[in-house]
Structure 1
Amino acid sequence: MEQSDDSDFYGDKETVMDLHKRVQAFDVQSWRLQQQQSPGRPLPRKNLIPDTPHLHNPYAGVHYAWQLTETIDEFLTRLPPKTTDMTEDTPWIFICNPYIPRVEKSMGENQLSKGNEDEAPEEEGSKTALVMEGGLERLELLSKFKEGIKKSNKVLATQEQEMQRETQSASDDILHLAHAAKVRAGKWMLFRPPAEVNDVWEIVAKATANNELGIAAKVAPRPVEEDYRKDRLICVYTADFANRADVGRVLQKLRELGLVETRERAIYYKPGHLTSSKPDDAQQMTHPARQHQEEGIFQCTAENKSGDP
């Protein structure tokens, strides 16, 4: 088979000449501009409309929590903390940060841990059961250490010093275990009288839903026998109690929202949220974590505020 020459490939001379003229007259820049204005086919909508972020709600279907199908105002109207009664079915009122993924409440390990069912929504991979088991074992060692010290011949002041050191060591061990096991949530705790709780909760709820505070927040409903002299508790959860920058950021935002009163009323922070079903263990599981009390730059305080959850 004979090879075709150029004229055979492009056509006759008249066609070739016409093609050359069209190529020479072709304005590349004008063609590009025309394609941008009217491409003749759909172009990828890249960067034209930003993707709507996928929203998350670990409390989906939980009646005492905000639902993505309702506005914040509708939620606040449905569950006003001042007049919503605390019952077995409504132990708290919750709202999540919809921009931060968390494990669905019903799937969390904390649902199998008595006293922890209504704490912060878990992050993926949390090992709450492991931390509870390890934490209680460490507290048992602490208890035995204290018993041994009390039976020693050491002077009382020395006994107390050694017990304090061992208590701090147990605290550190439990927190390190919790952090490694991804049980890392902490909470800022605000105390407000019933007359103020609706207004303060509205501010916290809207800021949480707008991704301005932490991973979630909760407020105590009205107790069965309410004492109007007793404050209600509002908790603002942070993702990682060891992340001082983020803990401080949330505190600063609370201050900007007018919710931190450095002189009149302190605000407290609890690293970790594990609670045991045994009162004595519960106190030790939370107390060693040491609260941060807000005083300009938050600092550690040695004792829990009485009645803290």
Structure 2
Amino acid sequence: MAFGGIPQDDEGGWVKFIVFEDEAKNLDKFLSSHNPSDPSWNKKNAPWVTVSNPYAKTRGESDLFRAFQLWEDLKRSTLNVTAERVKEIAKETNLTVGKWMIFRRRSMIDETWKTIAEATVAGKLGCSSKVATAYQSDTGSKNKKADMHLICVYTDDYSDKEEVMRVERELRSLGVADVLNYKPDIYTHFDIYAKNPYKIKVSLYTTKSVGSMAS
């Protein structure tokens, strides 16, 4: 379901705040009624809440089906599976988005998410951001405790290091003090995680800082 902007159909239970520039004033109402810590998300089967940057450049359509075709072809070929060849698939199919990942305990998630969401809609961060709800946190995490939530802050092109690091600096200015890792979204689609058989480094960038919002 969407709130603000043009209504869109549910996608896997996602709740979206899709906004044009003159509708950002609705964000406070949206956030106050969609706190990710709310246990009622389990009844709604809604794993993510997401907001968009109304000032971001419009991206073309991604072709996930074609990406999987190319991925299977690559794995069957005699070529080595490398980060550079995965990036070629990402470029060809417009699956170039990547994300900074922030983890928060449930007691802190609403405050941190509000800060990130407001900055996203204000155009200070990347193209969009999302947060795992209590439903996703309780049922979807293999390596984190049940009360941990994930926030993803997206940029359009993970090969654009200048933009990726600009968003990182903005996160630091907002008080995010964690060790931050940045991962291409296509790695998630292709199940490329730590200790993958291709020896691809999952996190393109890892940064450290000191501030006031650490978990």
The answer for the alignment partner of 2:157 in structure 1 is 240
Q: CA deviation at 1:230?
A: 4.0
Q: CA deviation at 1:91?
A: 2.0
Kindly indicate whether residue 5 of structure 2 is the aligned counterpart of residue 93 of structure 1.
Answer: no
The structure with the largest strand share of the pair is 2
- Number of equivalences: 189
Kindly indicate whether residue 192 of structure 2 is the aligned counterpart of residue 266 of structure 1.
Answer: no
Decide whether the 8 Å contact of 2:18 with 2:52 is kept in 1.
no
Gaps of 5+ in 1: 1-55, 103-122, 146-165, 297-309
Q: 1:124 and 1:221, CA in 2 relative to 1: closer, same or farther beyond 3 A? A: same
Q: CA deviation at 1:295?
A: 3.5
Kindly indicate whether residue 44 of structure 2 is the aligned counterpart of residue 132 of structure 1.
Answer: no
Q: 1:200 and 1:175, CA in 2 relative to 1: closer, same or farther beyond 3 A? A: same
Q: CA deviation at 1:101?
A: 4.9
Identity value in percent: 23
Q: CA deviation at 1:269?
A: 0.5
SS class of match (1:189): strand
Kindly indicate whether residue 66 of structure 2 is the aligned counterpart of residue 66 of structure 1.
Answer: no
Q: CA deviation at 1:58?
A: 7.3
Residue identity in the other structure for 2:29: E
The structure with the largest helix share of the pair is 1
Decide whether the 8 Å contact of 1:86 with 1:220 is kept in 2.
no
User: Which digits, 9 at most, give the CA deviation of each residue in 1:77-110, with x for residues without a partner?
Assistant: 12100115146741200101112254xxxxxxxx
TM-score computed with the length of structure 2 as normaliser: 0.75
Distance (whole Å) between structure 1 residues aligned to residue 207 and residue 125 of structure 2:
16
The answer for the alignment partner of 1:76 in structure 2 is 31
Decide whether the 8 Å contact of 1:270 with 1:286 is kept in 2.
no
Larger Rg: 1
Q: 1:86 and 1:246, CA in 2 relative to 1: closer, same or farther beyond 3 A? A: farther
The answer for the alignment partner of 1:216 in structure 2 is 128
Decide whether the 8 Å contact of 1:86 with 1:222 is kept in 2.
yes
Q: CA deviation at 1:267?
A: 1.1
Distance (whole Å) between structure 1 residues aligned to residue 74 and residue 194 of structure 2:
10
Q: CA deviation at 1:289?
A: 5.9
Distance (whole Å) between structure 1 residues aligned to residue 84 and residue 56 of structure 2:
28
Residue identity in the other structure for 2:121: A
TM-score computed with the length of structure 1 as normaliser: 0.53
User: Which digits, 9 at most, give the CA deviation of each residue in 1:223-260, with x for residues without a partner?
Assistant: 3884966421000000110000000000000000001x
Distance (whole Å) between structure 1 residues aligned to residue 162 and residue 119 of structure 2:
18
User: Which digits, 9 at most, give the CA deviation of each residue in 1:8-35, with x for residues without a partner?
Assistant: xxxxxxxxxxxxxxxxxxxxxxxxxxxx
Kindly indicate whether residue 105 of structure 2 is the aligned counterpart of residue 206 of structure 1.
Answer: no
Q: CA RMSD in A?
A: 3.1
The answer for the alignment partner of 1:251 in structure 2 is 168
Gaps of 5+ in 2: 139-143, 210-215
Decide whether the 8 Å contact of 1:135 with 1:285 is kept in 2.
no
Decide whether the 8 Å contact of 2:48 with 2:136 is kept in 1.
no
SS class of match (1:232): strand
Give matches, 1:287-302, under 5 Å: 288=200, 290-291=202-203, 292-295=205-208
Q: CA deviation at 1:283?
A: 3.0
Q: CA deviation at 1:183?
A: 1.4
Decide whether the 8 Å contact of 1:274 with 1:285 is kept in 2.
no
Distance (whole Å) between structure 2 residues aligned to residue 87 and residue 172 of structure 1:
42
Q: 1:251 and 1:284, CA in 2 relative to 1: closer, same or farther beyond 3 A? A: closer
Say which structure, 1 or 2, has more relative contact order (CA 8 Å, 6+ apart). 2
Decide whether the 8 Å contact of 1:81 with 1:221 is kept in 2.
yes
